[in-house]
Amino acid sequence: MSEKPEVNIRENLVEVINLKKWFQIQSGMLDGVLSRETIYVRAVDGVSFNIRRGEVFGLAGESGSGKTTIGRLVIRLEEPTEGEVIFDGIDLASVKPSEMRKMRRRMQVIFQDPMASLNPRMTIGEAITHGLKIHFPGDSENHRDTAFNMMEKVGLTPPSSFYDKYPHQISGGQRQRVVIARALVTLPDLVLADEPIAMADVSVRALLLDLMVRLKNELNLTYLFITHDLATAKYICDRIGILYLGKMVEIGELRDVYTHPLHPYTQALMAAVPIPDPRERRTQTMPAGEIPNPINPPSGCRFHPRCPIAQAICSSEQPELQELELGHLVACHFAEDFL
Partner 1 sequence: MTNNQSSEPDILYKIRKLVVEYHTRGVVVTAVDHVDLDIQRGEVLGLVGESGCGKSTLGKALMRMIEPPGEIVGGELWFDGTELLSLPEREIREYRGSKISMIFQDPMTSLNPVQRVDEHIIETIKVHEPETKKSAALERAQALFERLGIQKRRLNDYPHQLSGGMRQRTMVSLGLALNADLIIADEATTSLDVIVEAKLVDQLEEIRKEFWVTILLITHNIALVAQIADRIAVMYAGKIVEIGYVNDVFLNPLHPYTQGLLQSVPNIKFDEREDLFKMPGEPPSLSDPPQGCRFHPRCPHVMPICTQVEPQLLENSPDQLVDCWLYQNLPEGYESTIEVEK
Q: Facing residues of 20 across strands?
A: 45, 82
Beta carbon nearer to partner 1, 210 or 336: 210
Phi–psi pair at 13, nearest 5 degrees: -75, -35
For the chain, what percentages of helix, strand and coil (3-state, to nearest 5) are there?
Answer: 40, 20, 40
Beta carbon nearer to partner 1, 182 or 205: 205
- Cα dihedral 240/243/247/251 (nearest 10): -20
**Whole-number minimum distance, CB 268 to partner 1, in Å?**
6
**Whole-number minimum distance, CB 250 to partner 1, in Å?**
15
Beta carbon nearer to partner 1, 138 or 274: 274
**Whole-number minimum distance, CB 279 to partner 1, in Å?**
7
Greatest Cα pair distance in the chain:
68
User: For binding to partner 1 (CB under 8 A), which residues are involved?
Assistant: 62-63, 171-173, 201-207, 209-210, 228-232, 234-235, 255, 258-259, 268-282, 285-287, 290-291
Beta carbon nearer to partner 1, 50 or 176: 176
**Whole-number minimum distance, CB 204 to partner 1, in Å?**
6
Give exposure, 258-283, as e/b (b: 16+ Cβ within 10 Å). beebbbbbbbbbbeeeeeeeeeeeee
Q: In this structure, what DSSP letter does residue 159 have? A: T
Cis omega (within 30 of 0) for bond into 158: yes
Beta carbon nearer to partner 1, 91 or 235: 235
Beta carbon nearer to partner 1, 2 or 63: 63
Beta carbon nearer to partner 1, 92 or 242: 242
Give exposure, 46-64, as e/b (b: 16+ Cβ within 10 Å). bbbbbbebbbbbbbbbbeb
H or E, element range at 106: none
**Whole-number minimum distance, CB 234 to partner 1, in Å?**
6
**Whole-number minimum distance, CB 195 to partner 1, in Å?**
13
Which among 263, 257, 337 is positioned nearest to 304, based on CA atoms?
Answer: 263
Distance CA 244, CA 224 (A): 18
**Whole-number minimum distance, CB 27 to partner 1, in Å?**
17
